[in-house]
Amino acid sequence: MDLQNLLDDIVGDIQPFLGQGAAADYIPGLATVDTSQFGIAVATRGGEVYASGDATVPFSIQSISKVFTLALVLAGDDDSVWKRVFREPSGNPFNSLVQLEHEDGIPRNPFINAGALVVTDRLLSLTDGSAAEAVRSFMRDESGNPGIDSDAEVAASEARNSHRNASLAHFLASYGNLENPVDEVLDAYIAQCALAMSCTDLALAARFLATNGRRADGTAFLPASQTKRINAVMLTCGTYDAAGEFAYRVGLPGKSGVGGGVIAVVPNNCTICVWSPALDRSGNSVAGVAALDAFTTRSGWSIF
């Protein structure tokens, strides 16, 4: 298959979707982005990159970072985090508060905000307080881009408007489900979400999910059984209350962020990252999901 041709075709076909939906505005630092942008990149398991559109423009990775914190925790800690977070789809928005009380402070899964706060808390403990730096350094190593960093303006903007995540964190703490002070967990979480990366960077950084846990330098990061599990949780929970629709349309494990990025994995084959900032009601990129739908339909690459 001519991957470059396919990506170029998708950039053309996706034009009618650009600007459908709206950029996230509950984090004011994300609201001013140009919503006519669209990028797509594929990184093969061997490390070749194919890209088209705005694939080298950095954007705010937001919740895509949750896949990487989970992977780093599983690499450092094996399975103890699963005592503190479930792995079932929530059927609720990513920042919902309601389920947490009914379920005694154990979040439904690691990709909704409550669950991601628990995972970041665990990573803080495992890294002596350097969780965000650990994610950043993993991203730099795997993408080969030493310029990757957290966008201080986006982070400050989220910090000023983080009442909902602060509520979730305090609630978790009230159930004894945080090991570190609420403020430190929130700071690390906001810093990991504010990492600015391009489609190319992210497709490369996520490649361990398509290589049974191998890092870019060939060393073992996670056992194959753990990457299988991360991919499974991405499929069932990675796009929140739209995970069923995403599985139906795309047929791959995926993880979205409110910056408009989505990563998807074809196990043993490649990773794909798409980006376009305008979101649907569930917080997933409209053009990004449409592009992944077109990619798997035309390539036939799906786990089903």
Binding site for ligand GLN (CB under 6 A): 62-63, 94-95, 113, 158, 165, 193, 257-258, 283
For ligand GLN, the closer of residues 33 and 258 by Cβ is 258
Alpha-carbon distance of 37 to 24, in angstroms, equals: 15
For ligand GLN, the closer of residues 157 and 226 by Cβ is 157
How many H-runs (helices) and E-runs (strands) does the chain carry? 13, 8
CB of 147 to ligand GLN, least distance (A): 22
**Residue of closest CB approach to ligand GLN:** 63
For ligand GLN, the closer of residues 59 and 221 by Cβ is 59
Q: DSSP 3-state assignment of 222?
A: coil
CB of 217 to ligand GLN, least distance (A): 29
152-160 and 182-193 are packed helices; what angle lies between their axes, rounded to 10 degrees? 140
For ligand GLN, the closer of residues 64 and 290 by Cβ is 64
Alpha-carbon distance of 118 to 86, in angstroms, equals: 11
CB of 74 to ligand GLN, least distance (A): 21
Three-class SS of 33-58: CCCCCCEEEEEECCCCEEEEECCCCC
Catalytic residues: 63, 66, 189, 240, 258
CB of 151 to ligand GLN, least distance (A): 12
Alpha-carbon distance of 59 to 1, in angstroms, equals: 29
Determine contact, residues 242/17, Cβ cutoff 8 Å: no
